[in-house]
Amino acid sequence: MSEPKGKIVNQTGTSREKEFDFWEPVIFTKEDIDDEIQRLADLPQPESGYRSSILAHPRAEEESLGLAPGIRVSLDVLRPGEQSRLFRHNATEVNFCIKGSGYTEIAGKRIPFSQYHVVNHPSYTAYRHVNDTDEIQARLTYSNIPLLQRLKVYTADENPPVAAAVEEDRGEDKGREDPKKNSPYGTFQLNEEGAWLMPYEVLINPQSVESKPLHWPWEDVKQHLDKLEALGKDYVGRRLYMMYNPMTTRFNGCTPSFFATITIRPPKIVDRPHRHTSAAINYYFEGEGRSTVEGKVYEWKAGDLMLSAPGWATHNHASYDEYVYELTVQDQPLHLFMESLIWQEDLKLPAALLGSNVGFGTNREAATAAE
């Protein structure tokens, strides 16, 4: 068999402008999800203890199934008294409990959770889920698996060792705390414009930052979230809190790939249309309303899961006659790090490259004073 030969593709004179190929919004209804929870619960428990279904977009390809091109959402179920086996992979996760309760064991830490709690899972850290209650446990798990599969680098261990391996001698120990400052081989500034040079010894031993599993209990989050109703109907921002993981620094994430926010929408609140290159997936767990995406209206209710904002699609959301609570997961931190997060908060104003350009403001001070 002959070896594959690379292609040379002439781009001379071709336009570099490309139209966005939106993945159309799609909704998994409460009824869809409830039926799948029961179907999974009725199955015999597999050896891994892992009952799971991927909630995929119809345009997703088999080798990288996701609800958005870079975001997988799976529905994971445990019956009373069951637990999954230890598992680890090089993806990060946001876990959101939608039914029942239990606990997660991760990195030697036991994290109890119940309905509407959020827990993040760091990459390549062994974990298992346990249902120590007398009712079915169901979770939505958001991960960056499709992106890793596209890159052909996704890896998973079905039964990793429980204990952390003893760190091996990897050579020169000096400079581990901050190799950029302390490496004996020297990372140094090359010129006055700010370009630097870094030696191989630092390249293969970068400064490590601990990635912790964190827990945001719904009862605690809700106390702060409900106070945002006081912003009133004239407020032009979104009434939400992001569940922030400090290790993501200025990239504003729950994990390095995703942020997770919980929003309160008082009755009859209509957001201003906006758009961003990050994709957004909403799970509505109280109330009902509508989303308008690229001019098309989609109605939703409590218990529905929706790809509500394909990357760069103009969209806005509105509540009907009840309070709405929703979890939103976006791949914004990844885009921030890649310098690809274009955001247009007001369609009458120019878009900005968030993280590099000055971003946008709200009228929060005026809205608060008006109350």
Query: Does residue 250 surpass a pLDDT of 70?
Result: yes
Q: Any idea which of 44-53, 107-116, 164-173, 268-277 has the lowest mean pLDDT?
A: 164-173
When pLDDT is averaged across residues 209-218 and rounded to a whole number, the result is: 94
pLDDT at 105: 96
Q: Same domain for 152 and 226?
A: no
The three state secondary structure string of 152-218 is CCCCEECCCCCCCCCCCCCCCCCCCCCHHHHCCCCCEECCCCCCEECCHHHHCCCCCCCCCCCEECH
Residue 67 lies in a domain: yes
Query: Does residue 166 surpass a pLDDT of 90?
Result: no
Cα separation, 229 vs 48, whole angstroms: 44
Residue 178 lies in a domain: no
Residue 6 lies in a domain: no
Tell me if residue 250 falls in helix, strand or coil.
helix
- Which structural domain, as residue segments, surrounds residue 75? 27-157
When pLDDT is averaged across residues 224-243 and rounded to a whole number, the result is: 91
Q: How far is CA 75 from CA 91, 104, 137, 165, in A?
A: 16, 16, 10, 31
Domain boundary among 112, 142, 157: 157
- The contacts of residue 123 (CB under 8 Å, 6+ apart) are 89, 90, 91, 92, 211
Domain boundary among 120, 140, 157: 157
Tell me if residue 35 falls in helix, strand or coil.
helix
Q: Same domain for 240 and 362?
A: yes
The 10s digit of each residue's pLDDT in 319-364 is: 999 999 999 999 999 999 999 999 999 999 999 999 998 888 887 7
Number of Cβ within a 10 Å radius of residue 62: 6
Q: Same domain for 329 and 226?
A: yes
Cα dihedral 116, 278, 353, 188 sign: positive
The 10s digit of each residue's pLDDT in 263-286 is: 999 999 999 999 999 999 999 999
Query: Does residue 165 surpass a pLDDT of 50?
Result: no
When pLDDT is averaged across residues 160-174 and rounded to a whole number, the result is: 52
Q: How far is CA 202 from CA 181, 185, 189, 191, 364, in A?
A: 10, 8, 15, 20, 44
Q: Same domain for 240 and 359?
A: yes
Q: Same domain for 246 and 360?
A: yes
Q: Same domain for 229 and 362?
A: yes
Q: Same domain for 149 and 284?
A: no
Q: How far is CA 228 from CA 224, 239, 306, in A?
A: 7, 6, 24
Contact 135, 100 (CB under 8 A): yes
Domain boundary among 157, 173, 190: 157
Q: Same domain for 219 and 107?
A: no
Please give the tally of structural domains in the chain.
2
When pLDDT is averaged across residues 209-229 and rounded to a whole number, the result is: 95
Q: Same domain for 243 and 318?
A: yes
Residue 121 lies in a domain: yes
Query: Does residue 175 surpass a pLDDT of 50?
Result: no
Q: Same domain for 147 and 255?
A: no
Q: Same domain for 116 and 241?
A: no
Q: Same domain for 133 and 253?
A: no
